[in-house]
């Protein structure tokens, strides 16, 4: 049997045309377009690119954007499911339940044709923000706010959350977060999505697998951990000691390190620029300064002193940005999912187009030929 690669590190499990990563040079592309160029698109256009493998013509673009905006509304049954959720949970848990309910209502639940999956996937992309915002409003004893078709994906989410329209800069930041979170090759949650799809299960089930995997603190849950760390540190002057304490106690600095990137994560660089812009705009540099001090200490302690490639990953400055956008911590992982759903849908479609069951092996490490003995 082959050598075990713990955590499947370095294993190439499949071929994809959705994203390309060079973890040494710090390059990320969506469908062959560098992430720095991708930032010139709207989230809606990125969704089209991921789901349809190409950018739309002008008329397809208009049709697709209108379609996404029409599909933002969720039915009363799903809102009621959100209402009965236990509200000491993260939005992620309610989102998982709501997606399960959405599947019950879908006429094509078990239809895995391209046409059905494009329809289901487009609806899920449109509906994720509505579900997450409804969860937060209901949790706060407020009525959900219906989506506003005149607003972009990012602006509309903030509007449904707060009940007031965001500033142009806040809307741009939210859009950027969704774009930067949209897709990242065979990360753990996308692997879960593809594994479920590979059994010829349905798209909703595959997305639920992805949600469950994204929630973990070593993956999307790191954004919540970053928010908690910022709150704990409170002041820029305390950041360095906080990091030194984590290191001496052999604890991880959340939002740092990556399985693939051994240099700066290109998404993290963009997140940092955006976060700086909004921090300067608000005139409150506290969270950004804490973050810069954390980053400087991690780079000094790991990269310079120990020669270990531990750089800020996508979740670090995303967490800081959420501070400025006033995204409640309990929503942070679900907000990541609002962006990532488009990548998951693209991977589901790619998996169904050329499927083979994903089924690796494990090396047995237990005993053999034991007698039956009740204890
Ligand atoms: N803080 C301190 N030490 C770290 C960190 C960190 N954040 N990340 C890795 N290390 C150390 C680790 O202790 C180990 O040291 P040693 O070789 O002395 O035992 C070495 O670096 C390699 O770590 P690993 O856990 O074997 O590496 P991995 O590729 O399995 O882990 C990771 C990748 C993301 C799980 C890890 O870097 C980590 O736990 N980071 C913190 C959580 C986090 O930010 N997660 C978000 C991941 S990226 C975006 C996403 O998926 O959402």
Which residue from 350, 352, 267, 342 is spatially nearest to 50, judged by alpha carbons? 342
Mean local confidence (pLDDT), 122-144? 97
- Taking CA atoms only, the protein residue closest to ligand 1 atom 19 is 250
89 CA from centroid of ligand 1 (Å):
26
Q: Looking at 106, 108, 111, 219, which residue is catalytic?
A: 219
Which residue from 250, 232, 228 is spatially nearest to 316, judged by alpha carbons? 228
Is 315 considered catalytic here? Answer: yes
Q: How confident is the model at residue 1 (pLDDT cuts 50, 70, 90)?
A: confident
Percent of the chain whose pLDDT exceeds 70:
100
Instruction: Identify the pLDDT of residue 97.
Output: 96
183 CA from centroid of ligand 1 (Å):
20
Instruction: Identify the pLDDT of residue 93.
Output: 96
Percent of the chain whose pLDDT exceeds 90:
98
Instruction: Identify the pLDDT of residue 86.
Output: 76
Pocket of ligand 1 (CB under 6 A): 7, 187, 218-220, 222, 252-259, 308, 310, 313-315
- Taking CA atoms only, the protein residue closest to ligand 1 atom 40 is 257
- The pTM (predicted TM-score) of the whole model is 0.97
358 CA from centroid of ligand 1 (Å):
26
pLDDT surpassing 80 at residue 138: yes
Rounded Cα distance between 185 and 204, Å, is 20
- Taking CA atoms only, the protein residue closest to ligand 1 atom 24 is 259
Asked whether 352 and 117 are in contact (CB, 8 A), the reply is: yes
Ligand 1 atom at minimal distance to the Cα of residue 187: 51
Rounded Cα distance between 84 and 74, Å, is 16
Mean local confidence (pLDDT), 91-106? 95
pLDDT surpassing 90 at residue 224: yes
Ligand 1 atom at minimal distance to the Cα of residue 189: 51
313 CA from centroid of ligand 1 (Å):
10
Q: Looking at 44, 258, 265, 347, which residue is catalytic?
A: 258
Instruction: Identify the pLDDT of residue 350.
Output: 98
47 CA from centroid of ligand 1 (Å):
29
Which mutation among 228, 247, 257, 320 tests ligand 1's pocket best, with the greatest number of atoms within 8 A of CB?
Answer: 257
Over residues 85-95, the pLDDT tens digits come to: 877 899 999 99
Over residues 34-51, the pLDDT tens digits come to: 999 999 999 999 999 999
Is 242 considered catalytic here? Answer: no
Mean local confidence (pLDDT), 297-321? 98
Q: Looking at 315, 347, 354, 369, which residue is catalytic?
A: 315
- Taking CA atoms only, the protein residue closest to ligand 1 atom 46 is 219
Instruction: Identify the pLDDT of residue 176.
Output: 98
257 CA from centroid of ligand 1 (Å):
5
Instruction: Identify the pLDDT of residue 226.
Output: 98
Q: Convert 33-67 to b/e letters by CB count within 10 Å (16 or more is b).
A: bebeebbebbbbbbbbbbbbeeebeeeeeeebbee
Ligand 1 atom at minimal distance to the Cα of residue 252: 1
Over residues 234-270, the pLDDT tens digits come to: 999 999 999 999 999 999 999 999 999 999 999 999 9
Please report the domains of the chain, with CATH numbers, ordered by start residue. 16-208+332-353 (1.10.580.10), 222-325 (1.10.230.10)
Instruction: Identify the pLDDT of residue 375.
Output: 80
């Amino acid at each position: 049997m082959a050598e075990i690669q713990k955590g499947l590190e370095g294993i190439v499990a499949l071929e994809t045309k959705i994203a390309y990563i060079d973890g040494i040079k710090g390059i990320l592309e969506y469908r062959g377009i560098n992430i720095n160029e991708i930032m010139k698109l709207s989230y809606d256009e990125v969704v089209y690119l991921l789901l349809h493998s190409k950018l739309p013509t002008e008329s397809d673009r208009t049709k697709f954007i209108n379609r996404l905006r029409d599909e933002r509304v969720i039915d009363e049954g799903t809102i009621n499911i959100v209402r009965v959720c236990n509200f000491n949970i993260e939005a992620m848990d309610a989102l998982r339940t709501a997606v399960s309910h959405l599947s019950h209502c879908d006429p094509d639940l078990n239809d895995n044709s391209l046409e059905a999956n494009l329809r289901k996937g487009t609806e899920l992309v449109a509906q994720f923000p509505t579900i997450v915002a409804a969860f937060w409003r209901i949790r706060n004893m407020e009525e959900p706010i219906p989506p506003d078709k005149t607003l972009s994906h990012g602006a509309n989410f903030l509007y449904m959350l707060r009940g007031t329209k965001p500033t142009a800069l806040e809307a741009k930041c939210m859009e950027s977060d969704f774009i930067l979170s949209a897709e990242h090759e065979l990360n753990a949650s996308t692997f879960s999505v593809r594994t479920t799809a590979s059994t010829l299960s349905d798209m909703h089930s595959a997305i639920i697998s992805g949600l469950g995997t994204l929630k973990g603190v070593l993956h999307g849950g790191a954004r919540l951990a970053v928010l908690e760390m910022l709150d704990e540190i409170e002041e820029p002057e305390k950041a360095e000691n906080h990091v030194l304490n984590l290191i001496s106690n052999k604890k991880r600095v959340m939002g740092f390190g990556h399985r693939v990137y051994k240099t700066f994560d290109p998404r993290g660089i963009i997140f940092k620029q955006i976060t700086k812009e909004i921090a300067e705009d608000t005139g409150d540099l506290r969270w950004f300064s804490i973050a810069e001090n954390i980053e400087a200490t991690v780079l000094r302690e790991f990269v310079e002193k120990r020669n270990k490639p531990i750089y800020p990953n996508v979740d670090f400055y995303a967490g800081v940005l959420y501070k400025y956008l006033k995204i409640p911590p309990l929503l942070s992982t679900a907000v990541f999912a609002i962006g990532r759903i488009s990548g998951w849908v693209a991977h589901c479609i790619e998996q169904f187009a050329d499927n083979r069951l994903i089924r690796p092996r494990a090396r047995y490490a237990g005993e053999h030929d034991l007698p039956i003995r009740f204890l």
